[in-house]
Amino acid sequence: MVLERWESVLHGLEMDPALVVGQVDWAAKLQLLEAYRERHGLDWDDSRLAAVDLQYHDLRPERSLFARLDTERLVEPADILAAVTEPPRRTRAYFRGECLKRWAPAVASANWDSMVFDLGTDPLRRVPMMDPLRGTAEHVEELLRECATPSELLARLSG
C-alpha cells in the first residue's frame, strides 16, 4: 500500500505537480503562490509573495493559508496534538523531547544529531546523537528517570 502510494505520487510529480496539489505540501504552496503572483502581476522577489509564504505556514489555524486548503490529512488531529508534547518512543527524538520537557532552560540548542546543554559553567556541553537508535525510550528511559538534573544526566553519559 505504501509503495503503491509512493509510486502514484512520484508519477503525478513527473507528469505535473498540479496533479498532487492535494497530497504534496510544496506543490500546494507553489500553486497558491503562482496564482497570487499571476493575479497581482508580481515578480517572484516581491515582498507580498514573501508575506504569503509566511502566512501559508502560520501555525494558528485561523491565520494559516494551508489550513484553508483542501489537502489530504494522513494523521488525525488528536495524534498531532499528542505529538506536540509526546516524542516518538522509537527514535532518538525521544531523548531530545524528554530532555526539552524536563530541562528546557538548560538546553542551549537541539537538532537532529546533537543537543547542547548550558549548565551555567563553561564550556557548553554537547551530547552527540548520531545513531538514530540510541535515544529511543527503550535505550534511555531508565537513565532519564534516574536523573533529576541535566548535570546528573551529563555525568552519567560521560561516565
Sheet holding 125-128, edge to edge: 107-110, 114-117, 125-128
Structural domain containing residue 64: 2-68
87 and 148 in a single domain? The answer is yes
d(CA 17, CA 28): 9
64 and 86 in a single domain? The answer is no
CB atoms near residue 135 (< 10 Å): 22
pTM of the model: 0.63
Q: How would residue 75 be classed by pLDDT, with cut points 50, 70 and 90?
A: confident
Tens digits of residue pLDDT in 18-43: 999 999 999 999 999 999 999 999 99
60 and 122 in a single domain? The answer is no
85 and 133 in a single domain? The answer is yes
Residue 159 has pLDDT above 90, yes or no: no
Give the pLDDT confidence score for residue 132 in this predicted structure: 85
- Which cell goes with 22? 492535494
Q: What proportion of the chain, given as a percentage, has pLDDT over 90?
A: 84
Q: What proportion of the chain, given as a percentage, has pLDDT over 70?
A: 100
The total of structural domains in the chain comes to 2
Q: How would residue 1 be classed by pLDDT, with cut points 50, 70 and 90?
A: confident
56 and 97 in a single domain? The answer is no
Could you say which of 25, 41, 68 is where a domain stops? 68
88 and 25 in a single domain? The answer is no
Q: How would residue 120 be classed by pLDDT, with cut points 50, 70 and 90?
A: very high
12 and 41 in a single domain? The answer is yes
Could you say which of 68, 93, 110 is where a domain stops? 68
Asked if residue 126 is part of any domain, the answer here is yes
49 and 96 in a single domain? The answer is no
- Which cell goes with 131? 545513531
Asked if residue 75 is part of any domain, the answer here is no
63 and 88 in a single domain? The answer is no
For all residues of the chain together, what is the average pLDDT? 94
Give the pLDDT confidence score for residue 126 in this predicted structure: 96
109 and 59 in a single domain? The answer is no
Q: What is the DSSP string of 64-86?
A: -SGGGS-----S-HHHHHHHHHS
126 strand-pairing partners: 116
Q: Are 37 and 44 contacting, i.e. CB atoms less than 8 angstroms apart?
A: yes
Q: Are 95 and 156 contacting, i.e. CB atoms less than 8 angstroms apart?
A: no
d(CA 132, CA 62): 36
Could you say which of 16, 46, 68 is where a domain stops? 68
